[in-house]
Amino acid sequence: MAGQTESGLPIEPVYDSSSLADFDPATALGEPGSFPYTRGVHPTMYAGRLWTMRQYAGFGSAAESNRRYRQLLAAGTTGLSVAFDLPTQMGYDSDDPIAAGEVGKVGVAIDSMDDMRTLFDAIPLDQVSTSMTINAPAALLMLMYQLVAEENGIAPSALRGTVQNDVLKEYVARGTYIFPPRASLRFATDLFSYCKAELPQWNTISVSGYHMAEAGATPVQEVAFTLAHAIEYVRAAQAAGLDVDEFAPRLTFFFVARTTVLEEVAKFRAARRIWAHVMRDEFGAQDPRSLMLRFHTQTAGVQLTAQQPELNMVRVTLQALGAVLGGTQSLHTNAYDEAIALPTEKAARLALRTQQVLAHETDLAKTVDPFAGSYVMEALTDDLERAARELMQRVEDMGGAVAGIERGFQRGEIEQAAYEVAQGVDNGSRIVVGVNAFTSDDDGSYQPLRLDPALEAEQVARLRAVRTRRDGPAFERALDGVRVAAAGTANVLPPIKVALAADATVGEICDALRSGWGRYEP
C-alpha cells in the first residue's frame, strides 16, 4: 500500500526498474557540474570543497552579537549569518513607539552606522563571507556593511556574502514588508544594478523558500513558489535594462531541510533541474553560472519542539543530512533549544559541531550525489519536479508571482497546507515524538538564555546620542537626496549610502522612502 510524502505525492513501499520506465539518465541527470545540474552545481562538489558552515546568529545589542560571532569563528564556522530584530527588518528605529518591546528580541538591533561598526568590530570582512537575513530594507544594511569595510580600508570588490533581499515572500509568509510589491521590486533590482558595478562578488538576492516552509508550505509548494518569485525578479531586472547574464550568476536561493530525508533530497535535485531549464529555455541565459541554482539551507525550525528539547539534536542531524545529500552550498544547523529561546552559547556550538561531524567523520563528502540512479530517488525527483512545474504554471496563468500575491493565491495555498499538518498532529495521524506520542515529564533542568531587560533603553540612548552629534544640515541634504531619487527613476542606493554616511538612521531613510512609495496594507 502506497504512503504519501509531505507534498501528498505517492511513495511506494518498493521501487524497482519499472519505476523508472521513462527515465533517461542522459537528459535527467547529466554529469555533476553540467546541465541540468541535477547532480550538483560543481563537478566535484564536496570532494573538492566542503559546504560553507554558516551559523545564523544575532540578538540583543551589536556588542553582544559581535561576541557571539567571534565565538563561532573561533569554533570553526566558515561564514557569518546575521539575524536582525523585527524593528530593523521593518524599517523602524529602536525609539519608534511601534518598536517597543521588540528591540533586540529576535535578532540584533541596527539603527545607525555606529551599530554596524560595533557588530563587525575586529572581524576581517575581506576574509569571511557574510549573509544577512534582511528583505524590505536590505539595501540599507548592505550599504552599511560596505561603509564599514571601506572605513577599514577594504575595497567593496573584496566583499563576499549575500543579502536576502527577497521581499515577495514577505507578502506570502512572513509579513516584514514595508512598501507595496511593485515598489519593492524596484528597490530589489536597484540593488542588482548597484552590486554589478560596486560589489561584483556579492550575491544580490537569496530567493527564499525557507520562510514559506516555516509557514506551512509543502516541499512542492516551497519549490514552486520560490522559483515563481525568482522568475518575477528576473523579469523585473530585465525590465530595468539588465541583461540576464549580468545579474543571474549572483542569484542564490534559500531552502529548508526537513526530517523527511528522501523527499528533501529529491526536492533539491528537482529544483536545480527546473531552474536550469527555466533560465536556458525561457530567458536565454548563456553563462553556465546563470543556470546554476546555488542555495543555502537551514534546518527546519518549525519542526523543533519545546517538549523534550534534546530530541531536537536528532532532528537537526537528520535535517542536515538531507541538506548535504541534496548538495547544498552552505548550511545553518539550528540549536536544539531554539523552540524555547535564543540559543545558548553551548547549544550554538553543538549545532556547528553537528556539521563538522558530518563533514569530517562520515563519508558523505567523498562522492557526488550519492543517491543518483536510485530507483526511489529518481522517481521522487521526477514526481516532485512534475508537481512543482504544474503549480508554477498555475501562478503563471494568473499573470505571475506579483499577481498571485495580490490575489492571495500563494498565501492561501500555504495556509491550507499548514492547517492540514496541524489537523494531523491534533488527531494523532501525524506523530511528533514528545508532543502527541512518546511523551514524558520535563525535569525542568534546562536554563534558557535570557536577555537583559535594560537592553532596549540602552539601545535607544545610543541612537539618540548619534542624532545629537551629527551634522544637521548635511543630514537633511542627504535625506532630501533619498526622497528625490525615490520620486524619480534613478537608482536609490547611491543617495542612501550618502545618507548613511551622514548618520541618517535606518528608520529615517525608510520613512523618506515611505513618503514617496507608500506603505503596504494587506
For residue 162, the domain's CATH number is 3.20.20.240
Q: Band of the pLDDT at 189, cuts 50, 70, 90?
A: very high
Q: Is residue 418 part of a domain?
A: no
State the pairing for strand pair 79-83/52-57: parallel
pLDDT surpassing 60 at residue 276: yes
For residue 377, being part of any structural domain is answered with: yes
How far are the Cα atoms of 85, 218, 220, 221, 410 from residue 7, in angstroms, in the given order?
32, 5, 6, 8, 15
Domain match, 343 and 475 both: no
Of 355, 383, 410, the residue that ends a domain is 410
* 316-330 tens-digit pLDDT: 999 999 999 999 999
pLDDT digits (tens, 9 = 90+) for 207-225: 999 999 999 999 999 999 9
For residues 404 and 506, membership in a common domain is answered with: no
Within-domain flag for 90: no
- Amino acid identity of residue 447, one-letter, is Q
Strands 129-133 and 160-163: parallel
pLDDT score of 1 more than 60? no
Q: Classify strands 3-4 and 10-11 as parallel, antiparallel or unpaired.
A: antiparallel
Which among 410, 445, 467 is the end of a domain? 410
Residues 318 and 463 in one domain: no
Q: Tell me the residue ranges of DSSP E strands in 61-101.
A: 79-83
Q: Over pLDDT 90: what percentage of the chain?
A: 90
Q: What is the pLDDT of residue 268?
A: 98
Same domain, 225 and 308: yes
Of 410, 435, 467, the position where a domain reaches its end is: 410
Verify that 396 and 479 share a domain, yes or no. Answer: no
Clarify whether residues 247 and 165 are in a common domain. Answer: yes
Please count the structural domains in the chain: 2
Question: What pLDDT is attached to residue 313?
Answer: 97
- Which letter, b or e, does each residue of 16-41 get, where b requires 16 or more Cβ atoms within 10 Å of its Cβ? eeebbeebeeeebbbebbbbbbbbbb
Report field, pTM of the whole predicted structure over 0.85: yes
Residues 344 and 203 in one domain: yes
Per-residue pLDDT band for 314 (boundaries 50, 70, 90) equals very high
Query: Angle at CA 91, nearest 5°, toward 85 and 93?
Result: 75
Is 9 a member of any domain? Answer: yes
Q: pLDDT over 70 for what percent of the chain? A: 99
The answer on 267 and 214 residing in a single domain is yes
In a domain, 324, yes or no: yes
Q: What is the pLDDT of residues 4-59, one digit of tens each?
A: 999 999 999 999 989 888 888 888 899 999 999 999 999 999 999 999 999 888 88
Q: How far apart are CA 94 and CA 368, in angstroms?
A: 47
Confidence of residue 134 (pLDDT cuts 50, 70, 90): very high
Helices (H), 283-436: 288-291, 311-325, 345-360, 375-397, 401-407, 409-427
The confidence score (pLDDT) of residue 341 equals 85
pLDDT-based confidence at 399, cuts 50/70/90? very high
The answer to the question of residue 79 being in a domain is: no
Q: Are residues 339 and 268 in the same domain?
A: yes
Q: Judge whether 475 lies within some domain.
A: yes
Q: What was the pLDDT predicted at 504?
A: 98
Same domain, 480 and 388: no
Task: Give which of 370, 297, 301, 368 is closest to 336, Cα–Cα.
Answer: 301
CA atoms lying within 13 Å on the CB side of residue 289: 10
Answer yes or no: do 174 and 310 share one domain.
yes
Answer whether residue 444 shows pLDDT above 80.
no
Residue 386 lies inside a defined structural domain of this protein? yes
Range of the domain at 27: 3-43+126-410
* pLDDT confidence band for 443 (50 / 70 / 90): low
Pairing of β 52-57 and β 10-11: unpaired
Signed CA dihedral, 438, 444, 450, 453: sign only: positive
Mean model confidence pLDDT for the chain: 95
Same domain, 500 and 406: no
The whole-number pLDDT of residue 485 equals 96
pLDDT for residue 28: 85
